[in-house]
Amino acid sequence: MTLPATRKGASRVKAVPPDVLDALERGELQSATLAECLALDQARLLRAVFPDLTPEAAGQVEAAGQSGILKRMAGIGAVLLAQLGPAGIARCQGHPSDTVRGWACFMAGRQPGLGLAQRLAAIRPLADDPHFGVREWAWMAVRPYLAEDLDSSIALLAGWTASPAERLRRFASEALRPRGVWCAHITALKQNPQQALPVLEPLKADSSAYVQDSVANWLNDAAKDNPDWVRALCRRWQRDEPAAATRRICNRAQRNL
């Protein structure tokens, strides 16, 4: 996961200043770094945003807070969906706090009874969120469902590669990385990475460095299990006069070979 700083000087701060942490936990400020995202007390933030939650729900959130960050986000999302129903998704999705919008990712992406196309439609606005962290939570929220039906997922996400929004094109690649970050690996794509070519091929000369990095990281993941396949694909992509973007992707994809 790539998490750049968004507040001037924030990337150089090792400890989160108390006033910043307080504002984050009141839901008045977006996190600027991964450190800030991890440091804030999500239970306190939840009480500030939803003061009327039942004691039972508050207890469930406290329990979720003892888990790792991904399980914590998913757990709070599940509690909120159970308490607020689908109407709570829009409430969280429109909140100024990126963490609250992150909860919306798990509320929207993990609604029961949705088909895969419906699930992707629900997560799409959050996949295009201006905040880097929300975009990461978006693909993490739906990745388990994508992994369950790879053929359908690849077919649907191949359509996202034509989007004018670079964030959505990047989602198409990032959501199906064979190894990924902070998430379970997709064994089928580690064993058979060519299955994802309908998503990768349209992005091989993408003009966005954000997308290029995701495609390169996808191939770098694949190279850990199928180095010869990655080398051969990069040779094919670079035949004749490849675009500068393609050369950049292939160089980064093979950085550990």
Residue pLDDT, tens place only, 159-217? 999 999 999 999 999 999 999 888 999 999 999 999 999 999 999 999 999 999 999 99
Residue 103 has pLDDT above 90, yes or no: yes
For the chain, the average pLDDT equals: 92
Residue type, 152: S
> CATH 1.25.40.290 residue ranges in the chain?
149-257
Q: Which amino acid is at 245?
A: A
**Rounded Cα distance, 102 and 18, in Å:** 22
Q: Is the pLDDT of residue 11 over 80?
A: no
How much is the average pLDDT of 11-40? 87
Using 50, 70 and 90 to split pLDDT, how confident is the model at 8? Answer: very low
Mean predicted confidence (pLDDT) in 56-63: 84
CA 227 to CA 48: how far, in whole Å?
A: 49
Q: What is the pLDDT of residue 14?
A: 57
Q: Which residue has the higher pLDDT, 1 or 197?
A: 197
Question: Which CATH code of 3.20.20.450, 3.40.50.720, 3.30.428.10, 1.25.40.290 fits the domain covering 149-257?
Answer: 1.25.40.290
pLDDT computed for residue 10 by the predictor: 39
pTM above 0.85, yes or no: yes
